[in-house]
Chain A
Amino acid sequence: MIRTPGDVKTYRKELREALQNTFLRQTLDNFAAAYRESRAKAFEGMDLESLIAEIASRKDSALPRLDELLAEFKRNAESVGAVIHEAATAQEANEIIARIAREGGVRKVIKSKSMTAEETFLNDHLEREGLQVTETDLGEWIIQLRREGPSHMVMPAIHLSRHQVAELFARVTGEPMDPDDIEKMVKVARRTLRRAYLEADMGVSGANFAIADSGTLGLVTNEGNARLVTTLPRIHVALVGLDKLVPDLETALTILKALPRNATGQAISTYVTWITGAVECAAAPSGRKELHIVFLDNGRRALAKNPVFSQALRCVRCGACANVCPIYRLVGGHNYGHVYIGAIGLILTAFYHGVENARALVLNCLNCQACKAVCPAGIDLPHLIKNATRHVLDREGRRPLKNVLLRTVLKDRKLFHFLLRKAYLAQKPLAGDEPLLRHLPLFFDKAHGFRSLPVVNPRPLRDRWDRVRPDEKAPRMRVALFGGCLVDFVYPEQAESVLPILEKHAVAVDYPMDQTCCGLPALMAAEKETARDVAVQNIRAFEDSGADWILTLCASCGSHLKENYPKLLGDDPAWKERLQAFTGKVIDLSSFLVKVLKIQPEDFRGTGAKTAYHAPCHLCRGLKVVEEPRKLLDIAGFQYVPAPDEDVCCGFGGSYSLEFPEISAELLKRKLDHVEAAGAELLVTDCPGCVLQLRGGMDKRGGRVRVCHIGEAVGEGLKD
């Protein structure tokens, strides 16, 4: 049975251990790079966005009709000899399958890979009933022999080295194995498992699709094991989650266009098998297969009805949300999920395997959006992860102190800003005259010492505004700045440095004083109500500014304002128009300078400094701004030096870096290693949070690369 820690402390200890596993890291790094490339190639020339939208809408229209689809499936499948069973819980499903085995006089069972059977821990159950169960998917067989769970939904044994597999096979077969002869090991599996197929009385499979209008099951595999499992034994049992029901073949074929491409970069998996009813089977006394289909609920009906979480059931189990997750890449699937792995695993664990298994797990997300960007079903995974965090809190009926404080403080702008000013006084003795805190106060443990922290500025932007605001007599357009906490209270110089550019282009700039924190920290802590309150305050604060644009230097604030405000307020018709008027104006600095002001190289001195770029998660995926910052660097005369993984999270993630400092530190280290290796003198990015992380890390390691906001770099290069 899989064990997942229920508290952050134990979980962090396990994460630290996982970080020591260099083989795993190397493997997952290679995989991440290879995956990115093969996926891009597989979708070449296809309109991926429309395909994702189509899959999402087809799934969304099926989900409210699950019971109807089930009835239709049942009718059709029964008419061609299948027996349909329904299981409300995992336990019930296991019992039904055990009963079928008992009644059929079964002793040996062969299985093809099924995440649903992993979900119910079917093997354990059948073995306790005295049945001999053999997994036939190579990866599943390997982990079955090792008695562990899968570490990836598509490649269950990706965490193991050839040496570990060779040792295992040598033990199982009694023959010596050469770890470098993978082909030979595969042949050994082929031979050994052939025997199991021939001896089995019952085959158990999952299904990728259950097609209602013909009662057909669809199975997608590469090895061909599911074909043998469903053909050779006299009994076939398919365990199918209710979410696999689709109305028709067209829907299944549409999903199939994306599933293998997104899972493994293949245009299609080697075998796609469609089974309708009880087909010929000479091994069965009747000459026809005894086909049982067990539909599993285990929380799916409730999920389907949940307005927030129903989209989780669009999942087609491609595994991609793990492939691209920077945390998965560091610690592997056994530490990044319970049974289901990766972003979707963080969510489903709370519903299928209980809050105790999800409690610590759901917190381990940077909100970097990488999973969302790659999901073929268009699931807003980070959003659901935050909601799952809330679900866990609600279930447990208690709030961590952090949440209580956040709620009280964020709602009250004056109190919040008062406390920020106080923070300066508290930090001052520790920092001396330095702009960075190199030693942390005692209440941080030493895991947090991987970066220096900035000192809260004694004069926040709002206090300086009257002095620094450009005085534009005949403006060609009006901009209202959205500062965000970090720019306002920590890095006011970032905003100041872009003012001359705006002035040069006759842009009037305003800083509405009633603005406050964007509210993302509240949402990250699963305090939706507070986030909503703050959103309302900000929309109000900007309404009177008469601005054409709401400009922000913070990618996180920007994407939160644009993307999450509608989620927070969208169901309220009273806010519809005011909301649209607000979000429609929000723009990031690079896009504003390049696309709106259309700044030109002539305006800049052009230092030619070798400049690396870090793409903030909330800019490149949140706001989908990819080219503009690089164009901006070019226009402003910097020599852009590309570095690997520019769009991988720097590890900041707001309070994430306080909750899981070891992971944050490791992501930061990799980022800075890449930048240094690229030979950059300067590292720029367009988010003050990333600046905090990257600059703090660079300082701590004594690196020589200067880190600043892209606005500072560009502003400094402006010709007088």
Chain B
Amino acid sequence: MHPTELLRQFEEKARAVQTVVRRVSHWREAVRYAVDLTVERGGRTLAPMNLPPEASQSLEDATPIGTVEILRPPLRNHLQDIHTGLTPADWAIAETGTLVLDSTSEDLRIATMLSEVHVAVVPAGRIRADSLELKGEIASLQKNGPRYVAFISGASRTADIERVLTIGVHGPQELHVLILEEDAS
């Protein structure tokens, strides 16, 4: 499939499961987005995990003292107060609007599971048509364990009370995916 077609399909499928999808042209923009979103939602903390160096620098620049507190590992110390988790994702799957995250790091897991809002950043070039296209990559991670790999498609949900779809039961209440279109910058 053509890359723009993949991107379009990913966006469509992800939005179908209430994921907010945006395109960004560099990490700086992604960080800005996460900080603004945190403020907008009335959140006070942001847990960045596994960000590339350039993103960490822009994070310092984007957070004026006193607005949003940046939480540092170990996140076990913050189990109850993570508002936003900001992480990269390793791949995305167009067919189902799914993110794939190697979540072996416990801190990364906590940032993506116990936050109220998860903002994930994935380069456009890492979108694949379907999960089977990634079977080699994921299997080789698994054969090199211990490993914890997560497929995430949308925000946590339940329909256990009278089959009414309700978002945000145990995991994050919102999932935002920022697609990094590096060529655009």
Contact = CB atoms under 8 A, between A and B. Distances in A.
Interface stretch (A273-281, A314-322, A413-421): A273-281
Contacts of A288: 146
A65 interface: no
A190 B74 contact: no
Contacts of A186: 158, 161, 166, 168-169
Contact of B135 (A157, A158, A253): A253
Contact of A279 (B132, B139, B147): B147
A194 B173 CA distance: 14
Contacts of B163: 27, 30-31, 34, 155, 158
B132 A223 contact: no
| A contact residues, range | 35 or more
Contacts of B109: 227, 231
Classify the interface of chain B: helix, strand, loop or mixed: loop
A57 interface: no
Interface in A236-267: 248-250, 253-254, 256-257, 264, 266-267
Interface residues of B, number: 51
Nearest to A220: B151
B104 interface: yes
Interface stretch (B23-31, B35-43, B90-98): B90-98
A225 B154 contact: no
A162 interface: yes
A270 B152 contact: yes
A185 B148 CA distance: 31
A228 interface: yes
A194 B80 contact: yes
Given A189-B169, A280-B105, A282-B76, A267 B162 contact: no
Contacts of B171: 223-224, 227-228, 270-271
Contact of A267 (B96, B105, B113, B114): B96
B83 to A, nearest CB: 15
A223 B161 CA distance: 13
A274 B140 CA distance: 13
B148 A276 contact: yes
A276 B162 contact: no
Contacts of A187: 168
B153 interface: yes
Contact of A231 (B106, B143, B151): B106
B146 A277 contact: yes
Contacts of B149: 273-274, 276
Given A81-B146, A249-B139, A267-B97, A228 B160 contact: no
B105 A223 contact: no
A288 B158 CA distance: 31
Given A190-B169, A231-B106, A272-B151, A222 B157 contact: yes
B13 interface: yes
B80 A214 contact: no
Contacts of B145: 79-80, 214-216, 276-277
Given A138-B160, A139-B160, 15 more contacts: A142-B161, A155-B159, A156-B160, A160-B162, A161-B162, A165-B161, A182-B161, A182-B162, A186-B169, A187-B168, A198-B80, A214-B139, A268-B151, A279-B104, A281-B106
Interface of B: 13, 16-17, 74, 76, 79-80, 95-98, 104-106, 109-110, 113-114, 131-132, 135, 138-139, 142-143, 145-164, 166, 168-172
11 contacts: A81-B146, A138-B169, A139-B158, A185-B161, A198-B80, A214-B142, A228-B113, A232-B79, A267-B16, A276-B148, A279-B147
Interface of A: 27, 30-31, 34, 76, 79-81, 136-139, 142, 155-158, 160-162, 165, 182-183, 185-187, 189-190, 193-194, 198, 211, 213-216, 222-225, 227-228, 231-232, 248-250, 253-254, 256-257, 264, 266-283, 288
